[in-house]
């Protein structure tokens, strides 16, 4: 077994051992992008069900629920699974294909299932019943108040999630809760650990999705206190292009030679920046949208072939294996319109929020700060850029207008300073070797040191109060 594989398996074994000890009411597992969160959830569910434990699984979206059901039913075809849903839910093909899955709107309809899976919103409507175990998937996407609503349904829980991605959000003003240890705008994991600092915390150390070229950028930019490594070595993957292929569909505007150069660089190195001239634009920047469409189409028309540990002979990169990520829905709509009627019409074009948890061979990213006059909290949110730049297995092309570093320097933080906010204890993370190490969790106030090349600066997790980390990450990717 490879060294990365052994390290990852050691952490999984430690997690499963903690589940069996019974000395803690919860176990937390932090996972970088593509580290096997879903695989761990499926394995843990099998182990607990085999031990005769009553078990529920809490996910954050219907898409996540259906994906987990498909994975679990495939791994354990004889395991009875209940899919708790809304009354108007239509079972997807992934769910219908498994005979071991029962779909129902009430617990009584699926109560015979060894494992019952539903969204957090659905579990909040369940008034009766309790279970020995819950597995909370994508726990960092879950608001703490959502956890409070379902906590009475289980005795012990496994929390699995990615601490580097998008924070929970709300459309209402949340300043009134700032500083409270139970701030509902903090993630479920953050509040859980503030009130239960002795819970064991594990960290999956390997990303099986990101290639080394991506891991060495994403890890220090978005996971500076724990880091991770790629599960593959340089040279294990390659993206082969037909450089002589004809350009058939080129949206008006982008320079075809510049598009070819960016695609070739991404195939060779894993990254490319397609930089447009500095200019303040409206949010739906037509030039940037056309560049995103042209780059994705060029990858498709160049007949890209992805060679990897999954396919040594190479697999064609079709439209289903390419994605374009944006910050806003209207930006995505403009790009989809440009792709309509072309071979790339079925390319996934969506926002960072909706791309979370998904994986592609090649991604094209419209930088959230491209063409902006100001640097708002929304566009500085490090989790958004983390999601956008960590969906790919082979290459990521970033589209941006020049001037982002100048924009960051010209807009210092104007967020209010809150005194006497909660200071939770440092988290302790166990490494694969069993060593315990204090690290700075993303929702905790933290300090970096001058020796690390940065200023001493407190960071706060609340939206709009992580300027240093946001700006550092922005420069790393810009």
Per-residue pLDDT tens over the stretch 48-87: 999 998 899 999 988 899 999 999 999 999 999 999 998 8
| Residues facing residue 84 across a β-bridge | 104
Out of 244-248, 362-366, 409-413, 417-421, the most confident range is: 362-366
> How confident is the model at residue 280, as a pLDDT?
95
pTM of the model: 0.82
d(CA 270, CA 180): 42
The 8 Å CB, 24+ separation contacts for 435-442 are 439/225, 439/226, 440/225, 441/163, 441/190, 441/193, 441/225, 442/163, 442/164, 442/190
- Of 269, 291, 272, whose CA–CA distance to 281 is shortest? 291
Residue 33: count of CB within 10 angstroms of its CB = 28
Q: Using an 8 Å Cβ cutoff, are 112 and 83 in contact?
A: no
Per the listing, tokens 């319109």 go with 337
Average pLDDT, the chain: 85
d(CA 312, CA 303): 17
User: What is the signed CA dihedral for 427, 432, 435, 436, rounded to 10 degrees?
Assistant: 10
Q: How confident is the model at residue 442 (pLDDT cuts 50, 70, 90)?
A: very low
Q: Is the pLDDT of residue 175 over 60?
A: yes
d(CA 360, CA 321): 5
Instruction: Render pLDDT for 136-164 as a digit per residue (tens, 0 to 9).
Output: 999 999 999 999 999 999 999 999 999 98
d(CA 174, CA 156): 29
Kindly write down the DSSP assignment for every residue of 94-108, as one continuous string: HHHT-TTEEEESSHH
Pairing status of strand 101-104 against strand 26-30: unpaired
Residue 457: count of CB within 10 angstroms of its CB = 11
**Angle, alpha carbons 375-442-182 (nearest 5°):** 100
d(CA 418, CA 441): 19
> How confident is the model at residue 416, as a pLDDT?
67
Q: How confident is the model at residue 433 (pLDDT cuts 50, 70, 90)?
A: very low
d(CA 443, CA 451): 23
Q: How confident is the model at residue 3 (pLDDT cuts 50, 70, 90)?
A: confident
Q: Using an 8 Å Cβ cutoff, are 428 and 196 in contact?
A: no
d(CA 171, CA 114): 37
- Of 288, 424, 421, 417, whose CA–CA distance to 364 is shortest? 288
d(CA 134, CA 163): 20
Length of the chain: 478
List the structure tokens of 164.
């580097």
Q: What are the backbone dihedrals phi and psi of residue 123, each rounded to the nearest 5 degrees, phi first?
A: -60, -30
Q: Is the pLDDT of residue 422 over 80?
A: no
DSSP class of residue 320?
Answer: G
| Residues facing residue 55 across a β-bridge | 115, 133
Q: How confident is the model at residue 22 (pLDDT cuts 50, 70, 90)?
A: confident
- Of 41, 115, 39, whose CA–CA distance to 79 is shortest? 115
Q: How confident is the model at residue 1 (pLDDT cuts 50, 70, 90)?
A: low
Q: Is the pLDDT of residue 344 over 60?
A: yes
d(CA 378, CA 464): 8
| Residues facing residue 348 across a β-bridge | 323
d(CA 478, CA 399): 9
d(CA 154, CA 149): 11
- Of 114, 123, 140, 118, whose CA–CA distance to 63 is shortest? 118
- Of 37, 250, 45, 266, whose CA–CA distance to 163 is shortest? 37
Element (H, E) at 63: helix 62-75
Q: How many CA atoms lie within 13 A of 284 on its CB side?
A: 10
> How confident is the model at residue 24, as a pLDDT?
84
The arithmetic mean of pLDDT across residues 223-228, rounded, is 89
Of the ranges 38-42, 353-357, 403-407, 469-473, which one carries the lowest mean pLDDT score?
A: 469-473
Of the ranges 48-52, 399-403, 474-478, which one carries the lowest mean pLDDT score?
A: 474-478
Instruction: Render pLDDT for 200-215 as a digit per residue (tens, 0 to 9).
Output: 999 999 999 999 999 9
Instruction: Render pLDDT for 232-278 as a digit per residue (tens, 0 to 9).
Output: 999 999 999 986 666 666 667 788 999 999 999 999 999 999 999 99
Element (H, E) at 261: helix 256-269
Pairing status of strand 55-59 against strand 131-137: parallel
d(CA 325, CA 289): 11
Element (H, E) at 292: helix 286-301
- Of 215, 275, 198, 176, whose CA–CA distance to 26 is shortest? 198
> For residues 165 and 263, which has the higher predicted lDDT (pLDDT)?
263
Out of 237-246, 337-346, 444-453, 460-469, the most confident range is: 337-346
Kindly write down the DSSP assignment for every residue of 417-475, as one continuous string: P-SS---PPPEEEE-TTS-EEEE--TTS-----GGGTS-------STT--HHHHHHHHH
Q: How confident is the model at residue 113 (pLDDT cuts 50, 70, 90)?
A: confident
């Amino acid at each position: 077994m490879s060294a990365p594989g052994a390290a990852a398996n050691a952490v999984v074994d430690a997690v499963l051992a903690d589940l069996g000890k019974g000395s803690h009411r919860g176990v937390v597992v932090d996972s970088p992008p593509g580290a096997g969160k879903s695989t761990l959830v499926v394995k843990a569910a099998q182990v607990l069900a085999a031990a005769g434990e009553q078990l529920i699984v809490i996910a954050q979206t219907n898409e996540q629920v259906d994906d987990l059901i498909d994975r679990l039913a495939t791994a354990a075809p004889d395991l009875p699974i209940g899919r708790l849903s809304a009354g108007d839910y239509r079972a997807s093909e992934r769910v219908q294909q498994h005979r071991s899955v029962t779909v129902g709107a009430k617990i009584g309809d699926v109560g015979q299932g060894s494992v019952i899976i539903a969204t957090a919103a659905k579990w909040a409507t369940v008034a009766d019943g309790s279970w020995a175990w819950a597995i909370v998937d994508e726990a960092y996407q879950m608001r703490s108040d959502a956890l409070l609503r379902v906590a009475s349904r289980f005795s012990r829980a496994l929390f699995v999630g990615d601490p580097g991605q998008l924070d929970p959000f709300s459309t209402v003003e949340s300043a009134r809760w700032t500083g409270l240890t139970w701030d509902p705008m903090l993630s479920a994991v953050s509040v859980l650990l503030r009130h239960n600092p002795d819970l064991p915390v594990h960290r999956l150390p390997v990303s099986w999705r990101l290639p080394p070229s991506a891991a060495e950028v994403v890890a220090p930019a978005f996971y500076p206190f724990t880091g991770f490594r790629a599960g593959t070595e340089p040279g294990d993957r390659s993206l082969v292009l037909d450089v002589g292929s004809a350009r058939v569909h080129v949206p008006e505007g982008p320079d075809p030679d510049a598009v070819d150069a960016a695609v070739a660089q991404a195939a060779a190195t894993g990254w490319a920046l397609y930089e447009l001239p500095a200019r303040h634009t409206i949010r739906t920047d037509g030039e940037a949208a056309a560049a995103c469409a042209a780059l994705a189409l060029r990858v498709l028309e160049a007949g890209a072939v992805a060679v990897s540990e999954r396919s040594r002979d190479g697999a064609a990169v079709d439209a289903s294996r390419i994605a374009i990520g944006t910050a806003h829905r209207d930006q995505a709509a403009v790009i989809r319109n440009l792709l309509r009627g072309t071979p790339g019409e079925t390319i996934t074009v969506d926002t960072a929020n909706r791309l979370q948890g998904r994986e592609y061979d090649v991604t094209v990213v419209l930088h959230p700060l491209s063409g902006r006059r100001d640097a708002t909290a929304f566009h500085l949110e490090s989790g958004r850029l983390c999601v956008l730049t960590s969906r790919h297995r082979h290459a990521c092309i970033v589209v941006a207008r020049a001037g982002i570093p100048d924009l960051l320097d010209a807009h210092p933080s104007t967020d209010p300073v809150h005194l006497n906010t909660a200071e939770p204890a440092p988290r302790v993370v166990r490494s694969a070797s069993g060593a315990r190490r204090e690290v700075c969790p993303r929702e905790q106030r933290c300090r970096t040191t001058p020796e690390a090349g940065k200023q001493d600066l407190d960071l706060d997790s609340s939206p709009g109060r992580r300027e240093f980390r946001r700006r550092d990450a922005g420069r790393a990717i810009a």
